[in-house]
Amino acid sequence: MASDDARTVFHDVIVVGGGFAGVAVTRRLARKGVDVLLVDKNNYHQFQPLLYQVATAQIGTSEVARPLRAIFRRYRRVRVVVDEVTGVDPATKQVTLADGTICRAKALVLAPGASANYFGIDGAREHTYPLYSLDDAIRLGAKMVAHLDDADSPAGMKRTLDLIVIGGGPTGVELAGAVAENVNTAIAAAFSEEFARGIRIKLVDMVPTVLGPFSDKSQAYAREQLQKMGVDLRLGVKVTEVRPDGITLDDGTTLDGDVIVWAGGLKAPQLIADTALPQGKGGRVDVNPDLTAPGFDGVYVLGDSANITDSKGRQLPQLGSVAQQSGKWAARNIVADLTGRARTPFRYLDKGIMAMIGRGAAVAELGPHRRQMQGPIAFLSWLVVHAALLSGVWQRLGAAASWAVSYLTPSRPQIVLGHVDTD
């Protein structure tokens, strides 16, 4: 690293974002001896697929969050900077930090994640709880616990408690199932079965089914299991308005809601929108086959900020496996850039998709040919795969211990929360 003034620093590669893609590209480059500056506004890497379990007290924050400096402590060529990136100039491969520092590099990797896409629905931004970050999960968990305590107070003993989940994709289904699991076990045990029966969970989506990327068989199984657990499915209807106390649907129906969760879609963050990069669906960058941004040589866009296609031109879903694999492939192409070799088009290895519904209930479609599993076998497969994907040994051990308690007993050891601002 060198500098020509106190406010400008130079690196071989700058990586913006410490998510799946950012960690993967940084780790692979570090192993090749490349000088990398990794910038993230948080000092930790979060395992996003398990955030719903933090919100529902099935696991703790230490299982899904691992300090970035701990991940890269053995790599001397990696410098982790905790700061917010306020500006990106892809033409010069330059980023500006909140403290005014300007960072430049030979190659720039943008993987800043995603933000909630509210699709212009009135009140959605103001009155819903998104679930796309660790802070979101903590805030949602605190809100649900606060409502439980309020409903069980002398003034609220006869109140019902209504949770609305907007979005029937994996995040919405897994959250609704986890809350229903808590209601039928932990809450019924800690309060009473009568109190638990007063809690109503509603899942709403504009499409007529849940788990859209899955097969008809998996979708039918998920619907059946959710309904068996007491989740009220409102499918094929669009949310037109969100209020502090509920929502309105396009068929004129209104639903009461004490806590309203947004799991209805993602878009690229404002940082991407503010650049000169060409943007496509969801505000994401339609990257070239080699993962570079069109018109900006040496600028790579990965993860939830990119629309990535496979070798047949089909757009890949916004999955952690796509982000990880694209990060590793981008590192290969960056090394090729630095050594004067040609880049190669990204090739994705399809490992399949999974979703948890509840204790002993999950769906899994494995491999490119989508070998299907439902029920306990898929449930166990889900546990094994997600434990293996966690970032560190202690995270895996902690998650395994928490799952043992959560799924073998009605106890929820993570349910004790201090004061958290939920507004």
Going through 60-175 in order, the beta strands assigned E by DSSP cover 65-67, 78-82, 85-89, 94-97, 102-110, 115-116, 129-130, 161-166
| The two structure tokens encoding residue 302 | 């990965």
Distance between terminal CA atoms of the chain?
Answer: 43
Strand-pair category, 102-110 with 8-16: parallel
Q: Are 327 and 302 in contact (CB under 8 A)?
A: yes
Cβ atoms 253, 261 nearer than 8 A: no
Alpha-carbon torsion 161, 167, 168, 170, what sign? negative
CA dist., res. 7 & res. 103, Å (int): 8
- Residue 68 and residue 64: Cα distance in Å, rounded? 12
Q: Of 321, 289, 288, 290, which is closest to residue 304 (Cα–Cα)?
A: 321
* Helical axes 216-228 vs 170-182, angle rounded to 10°: 30
Angle between helices 320-339 and 20-31 (to 10 degrees): 30
Residues 6 or more apart whose Cβ sits within 8 Å of residue 164: 202, 203, 204, 246, 247, 255, 257, 259, 260, 261
Select from 369, 269, 356, 352 the least CA-distant residue to 317.
352
Query: What is the set of active-site residues?
Result: 174
Single out the residue of 134, 136, 141, 161 nearest to residue 150, CA to CA.
161
Task: Find all residues with CB under 8 Å of 142, minimum gap 6, and list them.
Answer: 417, 419, 420, 422
